Amino acid sequence: MTQQLQLPLAAALLSALSGSLWAESAAYLELDPVVVTATRTAQPLSQAASSISVVKAKDIEETVPQTFTDTLLDIPNVDVESSSSVMFSRIRIRGSEPNQITYLVDGLRQDDTTAAGNQFIGIFIDPELLKQVEVKRGGGSSLYGNGGIGGTLSVTTKSAADFLAGTDKNYGVKVKTGYASDTKEWQKSAYVFGRHDIWDVLVGVNRRDSGNVKNSSGRRIDNNSDAEYTSVIAKVSALPTDEMAFSLAYNFDEAQDEWGRQDRWFYKNKQNRITGKWDFNSGPLLNLSAAVQYVDSTFSFDSGIKKAQNNFDSIGGNLQNTFEFSAAGQHALTVGGDIYKKSQSGVEADSSGHWVNAPSRPDSDAVDAGLFIQDQYAITDYLALTPVLRWNYYKRESNTGFASVSDSKFTPGLTLTVKPAKPVSLWASVNTGYRPPILDELYFSMVWPGTHTVVVPNPDLKPEKSLNYEAGSSFKADGVFGSDDHLFAKAVFFYDDVKDFIAPKGWFEPTTPPTVYYSSQNVGHVVRKGIELSGTYAAGQFSTSVSYGLLHAVDKETNERMNGITPQSANLKLAYAFPAQAINVWYRAHWSKGGESSVEDRATGKNLHFSSFLTHSLGAEWSPKVADLAKLQAGIAVVNLFDKEYRMLNGSYGSGRGIRLWLSAQF
């Protein structure tokens, strides 16, 4: 039987290996990266029976992204908003809302910290720290718990082993600087790392400072913008025995945006995250992993009209074990559970400038927990069945008189995989999803300049529910057209049925000043269906990748197509390496089909129609060899090469033409 890869332990083992073996392993993973989001156990992407896209560290470095969402721009059926802003970034998978996605950092869930307030949602992390990003499209709560009915987005952060890969050194220092003309951003970073005996240590800091942004409207926004972002990472890993690995990490992130020519608007978010992981693998029946996390974050807002501060903290963890055994076939039975508790509180300034409790964000707590069991059952070499079942529980309560809410539900799933021939894999799956209201949907605050804003809590919100069907096929082969080429292709059809959508609803009363009311309500029933195609091909020094997404989302209560969702998109990447010159060059194209946007025409009240657009980007990377003194790298990327003017259907703008440069040295 093919043993399941135990990813954390495997990574720790690799960190202790020699430089030559590291280079060989890295080359293999580049062709077929290891993913975990499909089954919670590590497996090559080519074997994952799910619609997953992977963004590797090399891809991230090439395009010089300004924010985390900037790394997702070339993934089909994934839409982003405000990719140039850390504070206002939003992610949508297959037309889902941002809070319908499960966000994971190093395998641990991150808080959904807003529904409709002036605050980011999802992952708060700098792209400079990322080793790999996995995007699993399609819903289901069986593996990762409450939420995730739109998909799962998982990131893995770097360790010392990633900086030392391909070298024979055991310690080093790396410094890097870069500039992006489209955001006027200067980026500086420094890392110290090393490995000795059983230990692997990394400490690093990254800083970004940017100004007025030139976006795809064709002009630079003249709003006297000033944005700052500082991120710090400290990670210690150890491999005390061949069976055991553990790590402890600390991340600090602080971002602030400020703009306005006269009245200044100020947003600031600060987050501390501490994580610990432990893995023990002593045989087929004991593949144990445990992880814990504590997160503390503070969000501040000052518009000149209203000043507020929201505080969030959470603690949680997960535990799982995989049993591998034979019984009428081969089994990899994974059993586990997780629990997370989150607390929130808020204050705002009164008319005299004193801090008082925010009435629309009372002190409140949330608990999300669950138990799951999954069996990756290989009946034969050609047929496999993977059933999964999870028990979900949630509780929301406030200590200021609002009603408490709690419930539980079972969410099953099933995947059938057939391999009629060695290079071909076919699968079909059905998964159920369950997303209870988060604290911000029960108790949240809104600011609308020039009005009196009142938020009406709704303790009667029902959880969102989803049913996800997928059918797909993949093909992976070597030596297709030549002895040294590699081909991988995947096709997926999906059908998502989501009920009891939770959304903020507003209504207006013509008082003095005008009063705007907001409340979270269950508003409808949406069906989303479509296809996702992807393929990669590499031969010698040449490589190419293509992807395509088709998405049709319908409101079943009105039978009207949902606006603001990209109906079709396609991506192309071409790359070529010149080893003698130590130069890699690449070209990327992105196409999005136009349609009805989510932006209303103020004169008519109708939604505006935005045109299709095609953008081009190209770049190069140079890695000259300077004996054993240093490892130098320099890169250039020109995004939106022809300065195409466009607007995405969700209302946001992309990047205008920008030249992004970077230079690094590792000693």
pLDDT digits (tens, 9 = 90+) for 569-583: 999 999 999 999 999
Q: What pLDDT does residue 22 have?
A: 34
Confidence of residue 12 (pLDDT cuts 50, 70, 90): very low
Q: Burial of 385 by CB count in 10 Å (0-12 exposed, 13-18 middle, 19+ buried)?
A: middle
**Low-confidence winner among 211-225, 324-338, 545-559, 641-655 (lowest mean pLDDT):** 211-225
Q: Is the dihedral of CA 532, 533, 538, 544 positive or negative?
A: negative
Contact between 221 and 210 (Cβ < 8 Å): no
SS3 582: coil
CB atoms within 10 A of CB 506: 13
Size of the chain in residues:
667
Helix (H) or strand (E) holding 461: none
Q: Predicted confidence band at 146 (pLDDT cuts at 50, 70, 90)?
A: confident
Residue 549, in any domain of the structure = yes
Query: Hey, which residues does 505 pair with through a beta bridge?
Result: 519
Q: Mean pLDDT score of the chain, rounded to an integer? A: 87
Asked whether residue 181 is assigned to any structural domain, the reply reads yes
Using pLDDT thresholds of 50, 70 and 90, give the confidence band for residue 34.
confident
What is the C-alpha to C-alpha distance for residues 195 and 291, in angstroms, rounded to an integer? 22
Predicted local confidence at residue 1, as pLDDT? 41
pLDDT at 247: 96
Q: Is the pLDDT of residue 115 over 60?
A: no
Residue 6: predicted pLDDT: 44
- 449 assigned to some structural domain: yes
Please provide residue 599's backbone torsions phi and psi, each rounded to the nearest 5 degrees: -95, 125
596: in domain: yes
Q: What is the dihedral of CA 594, 597, 599, 601, to 10 degrees?
A: 80
Kind and range of the H or E run holding 442: helix 439-442
- Three state DSSP letters for 371-415: EEEEEEEECCCCEEEEEEEEEEEEEEEECCCCCCEEEEEEEEEEE
Instruction: Tell me if residue 248 falls in helix, strand or coil.
Output: strand
Of the candidates 367, 476, 369, 386, the one whose C-alpha atom is nearest the C-alpha of residue 428 is 386
Output the pLDDT for position 10.
44
State the total domains in the chain. Answer: 1
What is the extent of the structural domain holding 437? 168-666
Q: What is the pLDDT of residue 375?
A: 97
Q: Looking at per-residue confidence, does 511 or 645 come out higher?
A: 645
Least trusted range by pLDDT, from 42-46, 245-249, 339-343, 597-601: 42-46
Which tokens in the block code for residue 462?
A: 């029902």
Mean pLDDT over residues 262-289, rounded?
Answer: 91
> In this predicted structure, which of 81-90, 593-602, 637-646 has the lowest mean pLDDT?
81-90
Tell whether pTM > 0.85.
yes
In eight-state DSSP terms, residue 10 is H
Alpha helix positions (H), 36-184: 57-63, 160-164
Q: Which residues pair with 534 in a beta bridge?
A: 490, 547
**Distance (Å, rounded) from C-alpha 643 to C-alpha 220?**
12
Check whether 420 has a pLDDT greater than 90.
yes
Tell me, what CATH number does 297's domain have?
2.40.170.20
**Does residue 466 lie in a domain region?**
yes
Distance in angstroms (rounded) separating the CA atoms of residues 75 and 89: 16
Across residues 401-406, what is the average pLDDT?
80
Window from 195-199, 280-284, 624-628, 659-663 with minimum mean pLDDT: 624-628
- Does 655 map to a domain? yes
Poorest-pLDDT segment among 129-143, 431-445, 478-492: 431-445
Q: Is residue 350 part of a domain?
A: yes
Q: Is residue 122 part of a domain?
A: no
pLDDT for position 449:
61
Give the least confident one: 11-15, 611-615, 644-648: 11-15
Identify which of 40, 32, 14 has the alpha carbon closest to the alpha carbon of residue 372: 40
For 262-404, strand residue ranges (E) read 265-283, 286-302, 307-326, 330-349, 355-357, 364-378, 383-398
Task: Quote the CA–CA distance of 220 and 289 in Å, as a whole number.
Answer: 49
14-28, 151-165, 467-481, 572-586: which has the minimum mean pLDDT?
A: 14-28
| Percent of the chain predicted with pLDDT > 90 | 59
Q: Which of 188-192, 333-337, 462-466 has the lowest mean pLDDT?
A: 462-466
Supply the pLDDT for residue 482: 87
- pLDDT at residue 111 tops 80: no
Whether 588 and 567 have beta carbons less than 8 Å apart is answered as no
Q: What is the pLDDT of residue 31?
A: 60
